[in-house]
Amino acid sequence: MIFKRLMVGPLGTNCYLFGSEITREIIIIDPGGDATKIIKMIGELNATPIAVLLTHGHFDHTLKVERLLKHFQIPLMYNKKEFDSRIYTGVKADKWLEENDTITIGEITLHTLETPGHSPGSLCFYTNDVKSFNNQKIDGILFSGDLLFQGSIGRSDIGGGNQSQLFQSIKEKIMYNDQLSDNYLVFPGHMGPTTIGEERSTNMFRRYFL
C-alpha cells in the first residue's frame, strides 16, 4: 500500500495520497491547498495519480482541485449533491459518485458511502483490502472526511449542514455498518487518525450515534 497524509491549506486539511504499491497507482483525496507540496510528494513516491476524490466541497478541501487536474490530466470524482447545492461551484465531476460505487486502484477496491450531515453530498470511502498499517493488524481503512473526527464530529452549522443527518450518517453508515468493524482505521479530514472502536468507546458525542 502507498499511503501519505499531507496537511495542506489554511485550515490544516488532511490530503491523502492512497493506492497500490504493486501498480504505483494512487488517488488524491481532498487537495485543499499546497499543490506544489502534493505534486512533489507524488514524485517522491514514484506514483501515478489516477483520480482526484472529494469527500465534500468546502473550500478547504478543494482549493487546488483545478491545479492538480490540469497538472496530471486525471478525472475528478465526487457527489453531485455538492454541485447542485452550490457547496462546490468549481469543476463538474467526470464521475458523480453515489452509494456503493467503487474505485479500483490496482489490487485495492475503494467503496463509497453517502454520508450527508456536514454537507448535502458528503462522502466517506472505505476498503477492506488493507490488513496492516505501520505493523498494526487492521480490518480496513475508512476515509471519513469531515463527518467523524478523533473524539469529535464534523460541524453541521455551515455550508448545508444538518445535525440530525450527521448523527444518522455516523450511526447507519459507520457504527452499524456490517462491512465495517471496530478495528478499522479512520483517517479524517482534519486532525489525527483514530479507529471506529475508539470512537464507539470515547467520542464525546457517542450517545447521539450509538
Which residue type is seen at 35? A
Domain holding 15, by residue range, is 2-208
Which residue type is seen at 15? C
- Average pLDDT on 37-66 reads 98
Cα 51 to Cα 17, 57, 58, 109: the distances in Å are 10, 16, 19, 14
Would the CA dihedral through 196, 201, 206, 210 be positive or negative? Answer: positive
- pLDDT of 122 over the 90 cut: yes
CA–CA separation, 170 vs 154, rounded Å?
A: 10
pLDDT tens readout for residues 22-35: 999 999 999 999 99
Whether the model clears a pTM of 0.95, i.e. scores above it, the answer is yes
Which residue type is seen at 14? N
pLDDT tens readout for residues 71-97: 999 999 999 999 999 999 999 999 999
pLDDT level of residue 57 (50, 70, 90 thresholds): very high
pLDDT, averaged across the chain: 97
Which contiguous run of DSSP H or E holds residue 6? strand 2-8
| Per-residue pLDDT, 159 | 80
| Per-residue pLDDT, 168 | 98
- pLDDT of 177 over the 90 cut: yes
CA dihedral of 42, 21, 144, 28, whole degrees rounded to 10 = 30
CATH of the domain at 97: 3.60.15.10
Contact status, residue 78 vs residue 96, Cβ threshold 8 Å: yes
CA–CA separation, 52 vs 20, rounded Å?
A: 15
DSSP assignment letter at 71: H
Overall domain count for the chain: 1
